[in-house]
Structure 1
């Protein structure tokens, strides 16, 4: 039994000795992991190129100005293709993502044991593969052009739209569903009058948000042959036409800013 003298000499410690040792061991492992990753990352690095990078960047930057503004008319058709890729790809994704979302939501899926896991697998597969990878595969299958870009954007967007939508479905007010079902309504009528009206604002917001993201993604799909502004960018880079590259960069920036403004306005009007 401790006496009053022993209690007086005890000092407060935030952590016990075991926790302190575990914390230091964690930091040691983190440092070791960082050193290992740094070695793996730099083992094939040519440091002469790294040290010369500022001079090369300054040289390329000087060649990019002044921009070749007369190149803009040649970019109007690729810009239109980029907008079509983003818009049609988003619409195609919505057509496929809505059924997947209803199958993934716990309160609307036909089967939580069989159907829901398949729907979740589709969502994860779509979200785990970048649109550029989809475009690379589709260019090899379909061939180069706008169609490959549209399908690539759609396949990438399914997971994003379906995930957010099925989460919105699971958060609906079940009291409204029960009230409509109590009137003797069929399952289709319950879905039409109790579920769909509750998720429409979320659905509209998700659609506009994804379209805004797809505008940005579609600008670079041409780098792998899927059409749009990226195709012109790749052509200009191949011939070292840096003033044209500057114009393309500026046009991409303006396009993204306008799409962001439109998306914000539409979401504000809906929500």
Structure 2
């Protein structure tokens, strides 16, 4: 058979069958998902008109309501995010150390730390907020604890991974010299991971500013309470004001964190 008579194909027959099977499964799952969520075609077709009508009711923005009903809640949101992040650092630091297998060589503590990190990340912030509102009542305290507990998994996991990636040379040198564990951690591990730790802390504070704006919807304090009140009273111009304030604070926090991280890293 001449080379010119050969037919070159990109995939073999087995690969084509495998691709077809994958696409078929994806299609079946999508169809099943649409039936499960019960998408109503009439509502879907009417959605653009409803969105347009909503934006018309939200305009113009009621900026005059800022000092009366938004400013205090906005400041409270920043306090919740900051205090929650500080509490997270206190709680996540030992958990991250226990999770790092090269620093903590006790398997039981490693599994305990992993359980804490996974538990913290597995539950959504709103669920934590509802739980702590039921325990401590609505307000700032529930919001701070929600932010702290939710953030432990994020900060502790990344800090533990940074410890595991630290160079072992300084650690082995100090161990050979007979240095105690605390000195090894402070002199060998911490100088290597401190930039990553503070970068993680700043990044998490940036995330917490966003999350503290939402948890108020279930009574955990902050600007979410003002948003929930405006929504319940159908005060759409005030709703737009709250959304504009949240957007402005998130953007400013992002810029601030970016500038600080540049100086740290």
Q: How does 1:39-118 map to 2 (within 5 A)?
A: 39-42=35-38, 45-74=39-68, 75-112=70-107, 114-118=108-112
Q: What's the CA shift for 1:227? A: 0.7
Please say if 1:208 is aligned against 2:184.
no
The match for 2:33 is 37
- For residues 129-168 of structure 1, the aligned pairs below 5 Å read 129-168=123-162
Q: Which residue among 17, 20, 27 is the counterpart of 2:16? A: 20
Deviations 1:38-96 (A, max 9, x none): 22223xx3333333222222222112111111111021211111011100100111111
Which residue of 1 is the match for residue 186 of structure 2?
A: 192
Give the TM-score normalised by the residue count of structure 1.
Answer: 0.92
1:118-161 C-alpha deviation (Å, 9 max, x unpaired): 11111111111111110011111111001000000011100000
Cα distance in 1 for partners of 2:136, 2:246 equals 26
User: Structure 1 residue 108: deviation in Å?
Assistant: 0.9
Deviation for aligned residue 1:7: 7.9
Q: Deviations over 1:226-267 (max 9, x none)?
A: 111000010011111111111111111111111111100110
The answer to which of 246-255 and 55-64 deviates more is: 55-64
TM-score (norm 2): 0.94
The CA deviation string for residues 23-45 of structure 1, in whole angstroms up to 9 with x for no partner, is: 22222222222222222223xx3
Q: In terms of mean alpha carbon deviation, does 131-140 or 57-66 score higher?
A: 57-66
**Residue ranges of structure 1 left out of the alignment (5+ in a row):** none
Q: CA deviation at 1:8?
A: 7.9
Superimposed CA distance per residue, residues 185-230 of structure 1 (whole angstroms, 9 cap, x where no aligned partner): 1111111111111111011100000000000110111100011100
1:149-174 CA-partner distances (Å, limit 9, x unpaired): 00000111000001110110001110
Asked if 1:173 corresponds to 2:167, the answer is yes
Counterpart of 1:245 in structure 2 is: 239
- Which of structure 1's runs of 4+ aligned residues deviate more than 6 A? none
The 2-side partners of 1:20 and 1:217 are apart by 45
Question: What is the number of equivalent residue pairs in this alignment?
Answer: 264
Task: Please give the secondary structure, in 1, of the residue aligned with 2:94.
Answer: helix
Structure 1 position 227 matched with structure 2 position 205: no
Q: Which has the larger radius of gyration?
A: 1
Measure, in 2, the Cα distance between the counterparts of 1:17 and 1:254: 55
Gaps of 5+ in 2: none
Q: Which residue of 2 aligns with 1:218?
A: 212
Aligned Cα root-mean-square deviation (Å): 1.6
